[in-house]
Amino acid sequence: MEITVKSGGAAKQQTQCLVLFTGGNGEFPAFSSVDKDTGGLLSSLVERGDLKQAAGQVLMVPTVTGIKAERVLLVATGKDQPKASAAEKICAGVARALNGARVNDAVIAFDDLQLADRDSNWLLRLLARNIVSAGYKFDEYKSKQADNNAIVLGKIALLQSGRKALEGHKQAAAEGSAIANGMALARDLSNRPGNVCTPMHLTGEAKKLARGVAKLSIKALGEKEMEKLGMHSFLSVSKGSVEEGQLIQMDYKGGKKGDKPVVLLGKGITFDTGGISLKPGAAMDEMKYDMCGAASVFGAMKAIVELQLPINIIGLIATAENMPAGHASKPGDIVTSMSGQTIEILNTDAEGRLVLCDALTYAERFKPKAVVDIATLTGACIMALGHNISALMSNDEELADALLVAGNVSGDKAWRLPLDDSYQKQLDSNFADMANIGGRPAGTITAGCFLSRYAKEFPWAHLDIAGTAWKSGGEKGATGRPVPLLVQYILDQVS
């Protein structure tokens, strides 16, 4: 989708759909101008209650005389000047209406939408992201796909009255669009079935992402290379499958030579049966989503490449299948990680931390500025925070604060959980340096404690996205989170 920013008068716009905002508190110059040219038609519709005065409510006016636009979409901003929470509803309402309106292009009178607690660039980024994301669909495996001749929204112009903020607005629109494109890639990878989206498939997708991009290079380690590095914790998971595990490295050199990179590490278990500690059969199909952490790294890297951000980033994907074959790991097995620490595997369904710990040790070689790992790690996270907010743990206050701020700014929120030493003893083992589980109490925290033992050489944060990465039921599908949080964090590093 093409999103542009331009200046001009709303009534003079030649478009299939002109989007105007109105509400109970505030001035709306574009609305007033168009209303005047249409003989008061729009205000009369609002006054008689055709448009409900709640943030995000919409009314399509299909035939309008006196202006150049073919139709007008009226959008309510609420009875008071909207804040960020209302803006999310407003932007979502605009996005849904335009993508369902059977129009090729639209012009949005952006200047009329003023927030009490956010600047116009933040709002524009959110609006662009919502509009692009609203058109997302996943029909790769439908025998009858959507009609190629159907009318699809392809062009959006964001209208402002003057030229003062034009360049800043163009950048904000580009950022919102890039984040949405990154989310779409993350959703595509996550929604693909496990018989397609294998570790080798992800390696192929990484190479595809790097095609024609001089600043991005790809390296993939197979099981023989990992064996030589001593990554026996990782291999204890991948050895149960006929699909070979992969450690994928995406190296983006957008910053100065010698600048320390930020490492984004994604858990990529492309299907998780639980291994010998087999999961219940109900909803096991959703375990294809156990690679959503990896998918979010792909999505963030796509956005970073699209925006050509001036920063060095390493994207690491620790990807494997967790299967219950005859040569799979058994509860009670002991393995030695790349760091030299030994692990008693008490539950083979706690496999994500086993691949991530070796990848964290591997990340030391980059001497990173920070490492953020992203994983659908624990069901306990859903019990703690539900499906709205991701969990965050960190060994570094500055990094934790930066990620929390990025979550709040992007609307892709996280909540920090403690990483206190008192939880570490739950991982004690009689036979190895540690066990891979710490029992039912504080399961999300003890998983973070496990990973923290492999992240002592750099600032590190862990995002548990088990509750936010996908939806079940009638809306089953990947959400693309936490791509917005990750990209906002990177944007903050270069601003």
Confidence of residue 249 (pLDDT cuts 50, 70, 90): very high
C-alpha span between 400 and 403 (Å, rounded)? 5
- CA atoms lying within 13 Å on the CB side of residue 59: 22
**pLDDT tens string 382-440:** 999 999 999 999 999 999 999 999 999 999 999 999 999 999 999 999 999 999 999 99
Question: Which stretches of 200-302 are assigned E, i.e. beta strand?
Answer: 216-221, 246-253, 262-272
Question: Phi and psi for 385 in degrees, rounded to 5?
Answer: -125, 0
How does the average pLDDT of the chain come out, rounded? 95
Confidence of residue 124 (pLDDT cuts 50, 70, 90): very high
Examine the domain organization and report whether 310 and 403 are in the same domain. Answer: yes
Q: Is residue 461 part of a domain?
A: yes
Domain CATH for 62: 3.40.220.10
**Last residue of some domain: 105, 131, 161?**
161
Q: Is residue 184 part of a domain?
A: yes
Examine the domain organization and report whether 155 and 201 are in the same domain. Answer: no
Examine the domain organization and report whether 468 and 389 are in the same domain. Answer: yes
Examine the domain organization and report whether 136 and 191 are in the same domain. Answer: no
pLDDT at 19 (0 to 100) = 98
Q: Is residue 174 part of a domain?
A: no
Examine the domain organization and report whether 62 and 90 are in the same domain. Answer: yes
pLDDT at 52 (0 to 100) = 93
Examine the domain organization and report whether 49 and 198 are in the same domain. Answer: no
Q: Is residue 173 part of a domain?
A: no
Q: Is residue 127 part of a domain?
A: yes
Examine the domain organization and report whether 128 and 187 are in the same domain. Answer: no
Domain CATH for 482: 3.40.630.10
Nearest CA to 183 out of 145, 122, 138 is that of: 138
| Average pLDDT of the residues in 217-230 | 98
Domain extent, residue 102, equals 2-142+149-161
**pLDDT tens string 359-369:** 999 999 999 99
**Last residue of some domain: 161, 190, 209?**
161
**pLDDT tens string 456-466:** 999 999 999 99
Q: Is residue 453 part of a domain?
A: yes
| Average pLDDT of the residues in 309-313 | 98
pLDDT at 27 (0 to 100) = 83
Confidence of residue 492 (pLDDT cuts 50, 70, 90): very high
Q: Using alpha carbons, list the distances in angstroms from residue 276 to 272, 329, 334, 351.
A: 11, 7, 15, 11
Element (H, E) at 333: strand 333-336
Examine the domain organization and report whether 206 and 348 are in the same domain. Answer: yes
Q: Is residue 286 part of a domain?
A: yes
Examine the domain organization and report whether 257 and 153 are in the same domain. Answer: no
Examine the domain organization and report whether 72 and 207 are in the same domain. Answer: no
pLDDT at 98 (0 to 100) = 95
C-alpha span between 375 and 379 (Å, rounded)? 11
Confidence of residue 449 (pLDDT cuts 50, 70, 90): very high
**Last residue of some domain: 129, 161, 193?**
161
Q: How many domains does the chain have?
A: 2
C-alpha span between 123 and 153 (Å, rounded)? 21
Contact by Cβ (8 Å): 6, 170: no
User: Which percentage of the chain shows pLDDT scores above 90?
Assistant: 91
**pLDDT tens string 6-58:** 888 899 999 999 999 999 877 899 999 999 999 999 999 999 999 999 999 99
pLDDT at 363 (0 to 100) = 98
Q: Which amino acids are annotated catalytic?
A: 279, 353
pLDDT at 149 (0 to 100) = 55
* Residue 63 pLDDT greater than 60, yes or no: yes
Examine the domain organization and report whether 154 and 196 are in the same domain. Answer: no
pLDDT at 169 (0 to 100) = 87
pLDDT at 165 (0 to 100) = 60
Q: Is residue 170 part of a domain?
A: no
C-alpha span between 349 and 279 (Å, rounded)? 8
Examine the domain organization and report whether 251 and 380 are in the same domain. Answer: yes
